[in-house]
Amino acid sequence: MKLTLITPTPSDICAFGVRSISAYIKSQGHEVKNIFLPISLKGRKTRFEICYTYDDNILDDMVNLAKDSDIIGISFMTNYFDAAVQITQKLKKHLDVPIVWGGTHPTVKPDECFNYVDMVCIGEGEEALAELMQKISEGRSYYNTQNFWFRKNGDIIKNSIRPLIQNIDALPFVDFDLKGQYVSDIRKNKIVGMDSELLEFILPREPHFNNTFHISFKIYASRGCPHSCSYCINDYLRKMYSGQRYLRMKNVDNVIAEMEQIKHQFPFIQTFVLFDDTFLARSTDGIAAFSSAYKKRIGIPFHVQVSPLTISRRKMEHLIDAGLVFVEMGIQTGSERTKRLYQRPISNERVIQAANLINDFQSKLLPPCYHVILDNRWENAEDLIDTLNTIIQLPKPFWFKRSSLILFPGTELYEKAKRENLIKDEIKEIYRRNFALPLHSYVNFLIYLAIHDNFPRFILKFLSQKSLVNLLNKEDYRKIFGLFQRLFDMWNLILKGFTALFSGDFSRIFTYLKKRSNFV
């Protein structure tokens, strides 16, 4: 059978879930075509609301590529819902081919999906989709296939969920065979065949030493997460698979072998990014084994994501010896009340301890990146000041990623908001909300200043006095602080531009212009 997988995707087109399914389906003897459709900002409605859509030329090319399919799969997250609907409606208009929706959003909200398709895959897709395709190819009834819901004669057939794949080492490496892979190129306003040169252009550039950037490649060494944060889909999935081992780690030899294959196939890759929710969830011995093998067989810089609960000095020593150059760590909040809401029982003392540990290796690491969540409707100004005070205690240098709290369907906080009738317009407030742009407010602006580690902290402490917060953290002043932030952004951009220009760092300028081009 011929399967076409269509993926509205972020800019780096890694799409590991889809690529894993593609590799598995190929291993079962079927043909697979992958079409990656990186999103653009052309559908922006406001600064904080985005409706991702595609030009007709892109959709026409997609239809032409998919016309010989026996089945079409579309995998997406909640924030790509508009794109998935547009893709599906275009396909249905021109092709009479069964369409399956899968991914995190269809897993959580399958009932909603039947407004657009007749088949929905829930949970892991490798074995489920392979079974479905085998039954179709043999002319057998497929309505009892686990992990699938079907619409038949107006009724919805809801099959049970098969167990999680526990031995993920048994799965083939994710599919980066560029033959049969296509991507939308906004520079040409068309879908083109993927090749190494194009992939090299698309892959993200990550910061490296001396203000340079490296071509990076993301890779997963596990499935699942050790935490159960109330704002994250992992909490929902862990409950869906209750009683099963949710965090599953690949064998070190398997991880290294996959990296070796990728490095051989794409020699232009300069950095690996271990994109696991927290790679350091492995034991110290496991980290030591990985580090030893990585140093011998891979030997290029790499990045990891960690949590304050999993980091340790011994783990860091092993990783840095192997080539670790960059660490990201989730802080999320400094408020003890909010931590309980988020189900993140990590004290501020533990957070600062972890940050100090990272700082102990600053001579061998790039400045770390910390994550913080804003725009929590259950927080008050005092909670945010607690977060600000935590940031002020972090050792310099560092940088931050701020994000808005989005109440994604299925999460515990989404259910809490529904019970409290706090969600008025789900499409606007969740599906189209730009989580990378926190709302403007006085306290959010102070946190914005705090994440610039060269901003004087004594000024922040003065500005965060309770009297000033009570006076200025009001709806009426949001536009003013939004203007202040844009002026600061502009000034920082000008400074970075001149620094790059006079230092001859044209790759940094190129990277910025590439992002602004909306190719990705």
Residues 150 and 230 in one domain: no
Residues 166 and 208 in one domain: no
Lowest mean pLDDT among 284-293, 386-395, 411-420, 500-509: 500-509
Residue-wise over 417-426: b if at least 16 C-beta within 10 A, else e? beeeeeeeeb
Residues 120 and 212 in one domain: no
When pLDDT is cut at 50, 70 and 90, the band that residue 507 belongs to is: low
**pLDDT tens digits for range 44-81:** 556 677 888 899 999 999 999 999 999 999 999 999 99
For residue 125, what pLDDT is reported?
Answer: 96
Give the separation between CA 88 and CA 101, rounded to whole angstroms: 9
**pLDDT tens digits for range 319-338:** 999 999 999 999 999 999 99
For residue 50, what pLDDT is reported?
Answer: 84
Give the separation between CA 175 and CA 67, rounded to whole angstroms: 22
Give domain status of residue 267, yes or no: yes
Stretch 188-214: mean pLDDT: 91
Residues 52 and 102 in one domain: yes
With pLDDT > 90 as the criterion, what percentage of the chain qualifies?
A: 76
- Distance of alpha carbon 240 from the chain centroid: 21
Residues 52 and 145 in one domain: yes
In the DSSP assignment, the letter for residue 433 is B
Number of Cβ atoms within 10 Å of the Cβ of 116: 17
Contact 184, 36 (CB under 8 A): yes
Dig out the tokens for 403 from the structure: 């994000």
Give domain status of residue 419, yes or no: no
Domain finish residue from 440, 465, 491: 440
Which CATH number does the domain housing residue 99 bear? 3.40.50.280
Number of Cβ atoms within 10 Å of the Cβ of 12: 17
Pairs from 256-264 (Cβ < 8 Å, separation ≥ 24): 256/290, 256/293, 256/294, 256/297, 256/298, 257/173, 258/173, 258/174, 258/219, 259/219, 259/294, 259/297, 259/298, 260/297, 260/298, 261/173, 262/176, 262/217, 262/219, 263/298, 263/300
Domain finish residue from 440, 461, 493: 440
Residues 163 and 217 in one domain: no
Residues 140 and 228 in one domain: no
Give domain status of residue 338, yes or no: yes
Q: How many domains does the chain have?
A: 3
Give the separation between CA 272 and CA 302, rounded to whole angstroms: 5
Which CATH number does the domain housing residue 394 bear? 3.20.20.70
Residues 99 and 56 in one domain: yes
For residue 519, what pLDDT is reported?
Answer: 39
Give domain status of residue 30, yes or no: yes
Phi, psi of 219 (to 5 degrees): -150, 145
- Distance of alpha carbon 99 from the chain centroid: 25
Domain finish residue from 170, 193, 227: 170
Contact 215, 270 (CB under 8 A): yes
Stretch 383-404: mean pLDDT: 92
In the DSSP assignment, the letter for residue 228 is -
Q: Which residues contact 375 (CB under 8 A, 6 or more apart)?
A: 404, 405, 438, 439, 444
Give domain status of residue 223, yes or no: yes
Residue showing tokens 């489920």: 128
Q: If DSSP codes are grouped into helix, strand and coil, which group holds residue 402?
A: strand
pLDDT over 90 (residue 139): yes
pLDDT over 60 (residue 128): yes
Question: How many Cα neighbours within 13 Å face the side chain of 14?
Answer: 14
For residue 282, what pLDDT is reported?
Answer: 95
Contact 398, 457 (CB under 8 A): no
From edge to edge, which strands make up the β-sheet containing 99-102? 155-158, 148-152, 119-121, 99-102, 71-75, 2-9, 31-38, 181-185, 190-193
Give domain status of residue 176, yes or no: no
In the DSSP assignment, the letter for residue 431 is I
Pairs from 346-353 (Cβ < 8 Å, separation ≥ 24): 346/307, 346/308, 346/309, 348/386, 348/390, 348/393, 350/308, 350/309, 351/308, 351/390, 352/390, 352/393, 352/394, 353/308
Residue showing tokens 């044209």: 506
For residue 520, what pLDDT is reported?
Answer: 37
pLDDT over 70 (residue 508): no
Best CA proximity match to 248, nearest among 176, 318, 170, 328: 170
Residue showing tokens 């052309």: 42
When pLDDT is cut at 50, 70 and 90, the band that residue 504 belongs to is: low
Burial class (CB in 10 A: 0-12, 13-18, 19+), 409: buried
pLDDT over 60 (residue 511): no
Best CA proximity match to 105, nearest among 4, 13, 17: 17
- Distance of alpha carbon 504 from the chain centroid: 32
Query: Model-level pTM?
Result: 0.90
Residues 158 and 211 in one domain: no
Structural domain of residue 162, as residue ranges? Answer: 2-170
Residues 361 and 510 in one domain: no
For residue 518, what pLDDT is reported?
Answer: 43
Give domain status of residue 131, yes or no: yes
Residues 272 and 355 in one domain: yes
Give the separation between CA 363 and CA 404, rounded to whole angstroms: 32
Give domain status of residue 313, yes or no: yes
Average pLDDT, the chain: 92
How do beta strands 155-158 and 181-185 pair? unpaired
In the DSSP assignment, the letter for residue 168 is G
Contact 80, 88 (CB under 8 A): no
Stretch 116-145: mean pLDDT: 97
**pLDDT tens digits for range 434-457:** 888 888 899 999 999 988 878 898
For residue 509, what pLDDT is reported?
Answer: 58
**pLDDT tens digits for range 261-292:** 999 999 999 999 999 988 999 999 999 999 99
Residues 60 and 159 in one domain: yes
Tell me the residue ranges of DSSP E strands in 129-220.
148-152, 155-158, 181-185, 190-193, 205-207, 213-219
Number of Cβ atoms within 10 Å of the Cβ of 42: 13
